[in-house]
Amino acid sequence: MEKVILKQVVESLEALGILTSLKLPVYTSFKLSVFLKNVSPLVEAYEKERNKLINEYGTEDTEKPGTFNIKDEEKIKEFNEKIMEVLNEEIEVKIPEINAKELGAIEIEPKYLISLTWLIKE
């Protein structure tokens, strides 16, 4: 098990989703699938806490049900402090060793690769 900051995982979810939708070598796909399965409960716990904070600090937009707004500057500051406290948590998870060469000739935009630098090695 290795330690990683939850924020790194959360910020990588979109890129990980893209990677898992691409045709990769079997073993690389397997490693990514196992990793995602292991971090899913942690991400779900984060989302649950984030939603609690949104409900606590925000007010629902009457024109867009399900959308919340935080208008008070002090509440925004408190919300951001609390959410960063959660995101900066160190979590322990087995991080797969993925070498860039394992990804083969896939095409993926650099903006996604940037969020995966902690996971993919040269």
Q: What is the pLDDT of residue 83?
A: 96
Inter-residue contact 118 to 94 (CB < 8 Å): no
- In the predicted structure, residue 106 carries a pLDDT above the cut 90: no
Half-sphere exposure (Cβ direction) of 110: Cα atoms closer than 13 Å: 0
In the chain, the amino acid numbered 4 is: V
Residue 92, pLDDT score: 93
- Between strands 2-5 and 90-93, the pairing is antiparallel
- Tokens matching residue 97: 């060793």
pLDDT over 90 (residue 64): no
What does the alpha-carbon distance between residue 63 and residue 117 come to, in Å, rounded to a whole number? 40
7-55 pLDDT, tens per residue?
999 999 999 999 999 999 999 999 999 999 999 999 999 999 999 999 9
Q: Global pTM?
A: 0.84
Does residue 79 have a pLDDT over 90?
Answer: yes
| pLDDT exceeds 90 at position 70 | no
